Amino acid sequence: MMRRKGSFTVGLAAGLVAATLALAAPAQKPIDAPPSVGRPTIDPQPPMGLSVEIVGLQKHARGGISSVVLKVVAEVGVQGAVLTAKAPGDLRFADGSRVKTWNLDLAAGGAREIPVEVLVPRDGRYAISAELEGMVGGRAIRRGSAGTLFVGKREAPLPSREGAIEYLAGEVAATGEVQP
């Protein structure tokens, strides 16, 4: 009698394992079945966003004056929103400062655009950064962004052949070895 009970327990356990695996395994599609159309994947969006856009440049003999627009978007109400923009190196905003700060009213959400003028003393490449801070639902949220400002010479585009960018490799000697 003991033997029957043991074999019954083993059989029951094996059946439960097989049923669990059958439920957990995805159903197989026939090979000739058309691909199924699934729901589109929607990535979660942050409750607020920030972008730095360079919209204009008045070029002088050396340097110039650049027009920058800081765009803020809040999908939900943000309490205590503070926007800070920073000019790198010896760049200055039109009022002579290197850092500008704005307190924004985003309690009801919405979008704001803040135009800023940046004085550039010489040609070069600069990154103008901005940071947005606020409280959403009792939690602090911070977003940052930067825009690249080219004054004077632009960087040359990388060479391409039929849409593929070519990068220079090490020189190959007649023996086929790569030389450093």
Q: How high is the pLDDT of residue 83?
A: 95
Q: Which amino acid makes up residue 5?
A: K
In CATH, what is the architecture of 48-151? Sandwich (2.60)
Q: How far apart are CA 85 and CA 95, in angstroms?
A: 13
Supply the pLDDT for residue 1.
44
Length, in residues, of the chain: 180
Q: What angle do CA 39, 40, 42 make, to 5 degrees?
A: 125
Say yes or no to pLDDT of 18 above 80.
no
Phi, psi at 2, each rounded to 5°: -60, -40
Name the pTM for this structure.
0.61
Q: Give the pLDDT of residue 59.
A: 86
Q: Note the pLDDT tens digit of each residue in 47-101.
A: 888 999 999 988 888 888 999 999 999 988 889 999 999 999 889 999 999 999 9
